[in-house]
């Protein structure tokens, strides 16, 4: 997936260089790449913003943030100051066409093989920025544009962005980020499925009863109220991260690691998702919003009491969905998607539940009923694979108890203890020109097409989201979504 070499020189331009994403994730990510010796010497980083800052003021600002977000063990004064020598702050108002001349002039001083424009600004700027870059000739074949999610708020607005960006950049120049695809654990899912023959014969409707995909967050919305209120969990997490995980679980083996080979297979999964009617939305989805409760033993306010959120907000902070795929491999197998903020813990995992034996001859130990074989793929915070099986409980009965085979990646790969953050891998891939881990336009469109009926039905439903106490696992209705089908959510403990 990353066989391509880095070019000899590159210019990486961050629009939104003073913003949260750049200072908290992207610059620390680039520092880590530099520390690992993964950046070429002639690689420069330009951070753009409107603020009247000198170079010194900007560097001081990002250092303060970096010290907070780069683990102490990874901090090296020498590497940090060498990293800073790559950086330049450039004052540009993205909405002012004339100011792009400054950017062009700066870039011309360092003609590089590759120019990357990373648009870490609100999506409402995407069209303006691309138009203005193109006016300066900054859309040539050596230029790449990186778009952060959310890409629109529905199908029409997403298509409008596609059209506007597509006027100046070809698909092979456009990198749509879903940072989940940069996670080692998500790439490992491909390795598990397609690097081993073991699971393939079982990876189908004949042997799998249901699949559960969870991204749970302990945090609330923090200081992102302005963004979140207009977005909600369906657009923020399901339309992208959860559907991408579903694609990796359900896709057919790609013919190679070529970016289009992988994305072709993911697209087929998205196209096979059964669309929701209005009735389905009421039956197969649950939306929730956190009310006051406790988080890590401390009182946590309700969503509607967070900064910038109206008291009558109907924005969902929790979603559970029963999705189904209409194809030969998966017909009749429910894929339950689950995500929420202010849940008891932070975790992301995929649970593949295998069918039970057709006729059980063994008695089950108390509490062991309903726990047939399952494969648990924990993506974060720790990374492991557990295969649950029934085994005979020691003693003079034949009672069975679930036990698991455990593969913990931290222990398995002792030589490389630090697992790279998603953005590190993705930034390097953009510079290398490798699109495998980026979302193609047709995937994006299909994902919006599938979530849109849910968004529309919810918007028209006066009932609003069901409330759940902060620090709990969401509305009770999400458990009912599974129990109606005779299943229950996997609970590790
Ligand atoms: P912030 O609000 O923290 O930063 C916004 C940035 O936009 C600032 O650097 C600001 O610069 C810049 N900006 C605003 N107006 C202009 C303008 N007219 N010209 C030039 N720059 C401008 O946002 P985030 O960093 O949180 O998010 C950036 C993007 O990334 C958004 O699309 C967001 O949805 C997405 N995203 C963010 C995530 C996160 O964790 N933060 C996660 C996933 C996606 P200045 O004020 O200096 O001009
Ligand atoms: C982002 C969402 O895309 O993913 C955030 O906008 C969410 O709301 C975050 O908190 C979760 O990412 P991770 O990598 O911490 O699981």
User: Domain residue spans in the chain?
Assistant: 9-176, 181-419+440-483
Per DSSP, helices labelled H in 413-493 are: 422-432, 441-460, 477-483
Matching residue, tokens 């609330």: 220
Q: Does the active-site annotation cover 168?
A: no
The token pair at 424 is: 């590190």
DSSP designation for 25:
I
Residue whose CB lies within 8 A of the most ligand 2 atoms, among 219, 237, 350, for a mutation test: 237
Per-residue pLDDT of the chain (493 residues; tens, 9 = 90+): 555 788 999 999 999 999 999 999 999 999 999 999 999 999 999 999 999 999 999 999 999 999 999 999 999 999 999 999 999 999 999 999 999 999 999 998 888 899 999 999 988 899 999 999 999 999 999 999 999 998 999 999 999 999 999 999 999 999 999 999 999 888 999 999 999 999 999 999 999 999 999 999 999 998 889 899 999 999 999 999 999 999 999 999 999 999 999 999 999 999 999 999 999 999 999 999 999 999 999 999 999 999 999 999 999 999 999 999 999 999 999 999 999 999 999 999 999 999 999 999 999 888 777 778 999 999 999 889 999 999 999 999 999 999 999 988 877 776 556 667 789 999 999 999 999 999 999 999 999 999 999 999 999 999 999 999 999 999 999 999 999 999 999 887 5
Q: Whose atoms come closest to the Cα of 238: which ligand?
A: 2
Residue whose CB lies within 8 A of the most ligand 1 atoms, among 61, 122, 179, 183, for a mutation test: 122
Q: Is the CB of 217 under 6 A from ligand 2?
A: yes
Q: Is the CB of 18 under 6 A from ligand 1?
A: yes
Is 181-419+440-483 the same fold as 9-176? no
| Assigned fold of 181-419+440-483 | Dihydrodipicolinate Reductase; domain 2 (3.30.360)
> Do 349 and 379 form a contact (C-beta atoms < 8 A)?
yes
Can you tell me which atom of ligand 2 is nearest the CA of 346?
16
Q: Would the annotation count 349 as a binding residue?
A: no
> Do 331 and 318 form a contact (C-beta atoms < 8 A)?
no
Q: Is the CB of 119 under 6 A from ligand 1?
A: no
| Assigned fold of 9-176 | Rossmann fold (3.40.50)
Q: For strands 114-119 and 143-147, give the pairing.
A: parallel
């Amino acid at each position: 997936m990353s066989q391509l070499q880095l070019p000899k020189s590159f210019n990486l331009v961050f629009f939104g260089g003073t913003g949260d994403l750049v200072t908290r994730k992207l610059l620390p990510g680039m520092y880590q790449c530099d520390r690992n010796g993964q950046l070429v010497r002639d690689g420069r980083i330009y951070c753009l913003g409107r603020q009247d800052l000198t170079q010194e003021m900007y560097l001081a600002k990002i250092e303060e943030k970096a010290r907070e977000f780069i683990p102490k063990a990874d901090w090296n004064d020498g590497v940090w100051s060498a990293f800073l020598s790559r950086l330049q702050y450039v004052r540009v108002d993205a909405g002012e066409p004339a100011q792009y001349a400054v950017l062009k002039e700066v870039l011309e001083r360092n003609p590089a093989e590759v120019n990357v424009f990373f648009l870490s600004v609100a999506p409402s700027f995407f069209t303006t920025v691309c138009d203005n870059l193109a006016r300066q000739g900054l859309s040539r074949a050596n230029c790449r544009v990186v778009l952060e999610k959310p890409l629109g708020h529905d199908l029409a607005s997403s298509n409008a962005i596609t059209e506007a960006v597509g006027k100046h950049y070809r698909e092979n120049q456009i990198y749509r980020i879903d940072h989940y695809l940069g996670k080692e654990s998500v790439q490992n899912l491909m390795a598990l499925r397609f690097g081993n023959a073991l699971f393939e014969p079982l990876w189908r409707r004949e042997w799998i009863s249901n699949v559960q995909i969870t991204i749970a967050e302990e945090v609330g919305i923090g200081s992102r109220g302005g963004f979140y209120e207009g977005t909600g969990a369906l657009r923020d997490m399901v339309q992208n991260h959860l559907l991408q995980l579903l694609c990796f679980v359900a896709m057919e083996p790609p013919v190679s690691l070529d970016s289009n080979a992988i994305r072709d297979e993911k697209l087929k999964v998205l196209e096979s998702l059964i669309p929701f009617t209005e009735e389905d939305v009421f039956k197969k989805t649950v939306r929730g919003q956190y009310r006051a409760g406790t988080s890590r033993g401390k009182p946590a306010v309700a969503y509607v009491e967070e900064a910038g959120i109206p008291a009558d907000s109907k924005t969902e902070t929790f979603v559970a969905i029963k999705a189904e795929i209409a194809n030969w491999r998966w017909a009749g197998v429910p894929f339950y998607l689950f995500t929420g903020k202010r849940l008891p813990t932070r975790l992301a995992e995929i649970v593949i539940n295998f069918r039970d034996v057709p006729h059980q001859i063994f008695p089950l130990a108390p509490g062991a009923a309903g726990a047939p074989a399952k494969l648990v793929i924990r993506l974060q915070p720790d990374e492991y694979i557990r295969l649950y099986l029934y085994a005979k409980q020691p003693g003079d009965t034949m009672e069975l108890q679930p036990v698991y085979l455990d593969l913990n990646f931290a222990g398995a790969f002792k030589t490389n203890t630090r697992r790279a953050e998603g953005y590190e891998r993705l930034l390097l891939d953009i510079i290398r020109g490798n699109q495998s881990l980026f979302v193609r336009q047709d995937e994006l469109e299909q994902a919006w097409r599938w979530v849109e009926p849910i968004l529309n039905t919810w918007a028209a439903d006066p009932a609003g989201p069901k409330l759940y106490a902060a620090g709990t696992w969401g509305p009770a209705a999400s458990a009912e979504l599974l129990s109606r089908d005779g299943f229950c959510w996997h609970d590790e403990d």
